[in-house]
A = this chain, B = another copy of it.
Amino acid sequence: MCRWAAWSGAPKYLEEVICDPEHSLIDQSRNALSCKTAVNADGFGVAWYGDRQTPCLYKDVRPAWSDPNLLQIARHIRSGHFLAHVRASTGTATTRDNCHPFTHDRWTFMHNGQIGGYDRVRRQFDNIIPDDLYQARMGGTDSESLFLVALAYGLTQNPRAAMAKAVFEAETMSAQAGCKPHMRFAAGWSDGETLYAARYASDNFAPTLYYREFEDGVMVVSEPLDQARNCWKEVPQGKMIAVRQGSITETAFLNDETLVEA
């Protein structure tokens, strides 16, 4: 399990999410509260959108709190759209390529959760990725593979359906391989303009996912960055939100209804 946070709104220094809040992402890397793993110190990453269409990606294998470069960047970089992640490995190696977010052209993806028994379905699941995207496979995580499969399923055209189909496919393979829980998923993804976040599980224990509206933007997080619990709304299991220019749309992500379309 991991912790993540994303911002869409007026330009904000990264440190206003990563470092400054009472229960900032860095605090969560040491001491997460609503997470199976209190310590999320197997690397970190942040992708921010600035001048260029593609995001700038900074990630590394150290704990977020101990990387002096991250503190510098968080203090000096301001962005209106960014996604940040602290990782607790569920088994795969602590390498930069296994850290979140993952990026591809304009798109960014980060994840908290896992495909059940991924070791046993990895090969089968990787095989969905078409050759041209397979070149972009750098590490060995289920999360990177989910992103590439979603891209293969048309993420850039249909951000919900493609991701839901990737998740459903992984869940099905996990179930067929007899692994439990088949799927736990709380992910954020973005093209730099719209921020998507979804919450799902094949059982009743989807990882937590919250968002909060501020005057100048919207924050989406694994767990609240402060104790103002009333201000944070929980995304219901099976639902997703899309944040664009300050407006939030909540829709179904993956359920009986959406599966028909997907």
Chain A contacts to B: CB under 8 angstroms: 30-31, 39, 41-43, 50-52, 54-63, 66, 68-69, 72-73, 75-78, 89, 93-97, 119-120, 122-123, 127, 131, 134-135, 137-140
Contacts and interface: CB of A to CB of B under 8 A. Distances in A.
A131 B140 CA distance: 14
How many copies of this chain does the complex contain? 4
Contact of A63 (B41, B57, B58, B76): B41
Contacts of A68: 93-94, 96
Contacts of A138: 93, 95, 139-140
A42 B62 CA distance: 9
16 contacts: A52-B76, A56-B73, A56-B77, A58-B73, A62-B94, A68-B93, A68-B96, A69-B69, A93-B97, A93-B138, A95-B95, A97-B97, A97-B140, A122-B135, A138-B140, A139-B139
Shortest beta-carbon contacts, A-B, top 4? A56-B76, A66-B94, A123-B134, A123-B131
Contacts of A135: 119, 122
Contacts of A127: 127
Contact of A51 (B39, B51, B76): B76
A28 to B, nearest CB: 12
A56 to B, nearest CB: 3
A61 B66 CA distance: 9
A69 B60 contact: yes
Contacts of A58: 69, 72-73
Contacts of A57: 69, 72
Contacts of A93: 68, 96-97, 138
A50 B31 CA distance: 32
Contacts of A73: 56, 58, 73
A171 B190 CA distance: 40
A35 to B, nearest CB: 14
Q: Which has the most chain B C-beta neighbours within 10 Å: A50, A75, A76, A77?
A: A76
